[in-house]
């Protein structure tokens, strides 16, 4: 059995006071062994949220990282920095990073390899646009994104990563892929890994769904056989995040 992962992506939200209050509220409500819970917070909140959640089962993650360890990259944060801060997870290649900051499949690959080098768990995001889905290109797009993202990654590393399928047309729109649509793509992702690395890595890798996940749809999505949890956006900033984590209650 693959342990579920519910990762909240705060994006660029909450003031410091709001972040402190929300992390404190969630501290006792979602401290569980049954699900791997991650809060991916803005860089400036990492130390504060880590302090608040110290001693709990809730992990604190970053939303991005640079592929270099150090250098003249004003405003960037390296995997080396995150590792020394004991930040275990980092989101790589979110569609907003691709759209607004010109990230590509290649940079996603380089960053993912660097994250693994530093012992971080990369949450690797892939997903298609509405135009690509409407033109029946979903599986071709996903296959290409995944092939490039995993380039140079040995079979021994596959169980160390998390893959998040996030259809771009469902992110922040209120639209959600049906459980059948999400399962179909997540199953295809696992099949591609099986074809490339074999049965054991394919059975071990955790594949998440993301795209307007909330407490009303988490149960039907997360109980599909190839969906191992979710990458949660707006709902991760609300008290109902607790209900997403405990989707089966």
Catalytic (active site) residue 166 = yes
Nearest to 82 by CA among 56, 55, 114: 114
Whether 128 is catalytic is no
Q: Which residues contact 128 (CB under 8 A, 6 or more apart)?
A: 137, 138, 141, 142, 167, 168, 169
Q: Which two tokens stand for residue 192?
A: 């591609």
pLDDT score at 73: 98
- For the chain, first and last CA: distance in Å? 19
Catalytic choice (94, 96, 103, 128): 94
For the chain, give the mean pLDDT: 96
H or E segment and range at residue 165: strand 162-165
| Contact call for residues 60 and 46 (beta carbons, < 8 A) | yes
Could you report the per-residue pLDDT of 141-177, keeping only the tens digit for each?
999 999 999 999 999 999 999 999 999 988 878 887 8
Catalytic residue among 96, 103, 128, 166: 166
pTM across the whole model: 0.96
Cβ atoms of 204 and 159 closer than 8 Å: yes
Domains of the chain, each with CATH number or no CATH: 5-245 (3.20.20.70)
């Amino acid at each position: 059995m693959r342990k579920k992962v519910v990762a909240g992506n705060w994006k660029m939200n909450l003031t410091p006071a709001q972040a402190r209050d929300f992390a404190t509220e969630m501290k006792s409500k979602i401290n569980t062994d049954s699900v791997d819970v991650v809060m991916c917070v803005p860089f400036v909140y990492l130390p504060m949220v880590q302090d608040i959640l110290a001693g709990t089962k809730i992990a604190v993650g970053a939303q991005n990282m640079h592929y270099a360890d150090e250098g003249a990259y004003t405003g960037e944060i390296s995997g080396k920095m995150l590792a020394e801060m004991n930040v275990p997870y980092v989101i790589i290649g979110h569609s907003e990073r691709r759209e607004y900051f010109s990230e590509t499949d290649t940079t996603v690959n380089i960053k993912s390899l660097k994250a693994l080098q530093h012992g971080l768990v990369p949450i690797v995001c892939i997903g298609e646009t509405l135009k690509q889905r409407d033109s029946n290109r979903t599986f071709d797009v996903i296959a290409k994104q995944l092939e490039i993202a995993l380039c140079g990654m040995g079979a021994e590393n596959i169980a160390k990563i998390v893959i998040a399928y996030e259809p771009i047309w469902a992110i922040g729109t209120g639209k959600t892929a049906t459980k059948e649509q999400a399962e179909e793509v997540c199953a295809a992702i696992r099949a591609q890994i099986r074809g490339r690395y074999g049965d054991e890595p394919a059975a071990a890798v955790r594949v998440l769904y993301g795209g307007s996940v909330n407490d009303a749809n988490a149960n039907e999505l997360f109980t599909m056989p190839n969906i191992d949890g979710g990458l949660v956006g707006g709902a991760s900033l609300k008290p109902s995040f607790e209900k997403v984590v405990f989707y089966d209650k």
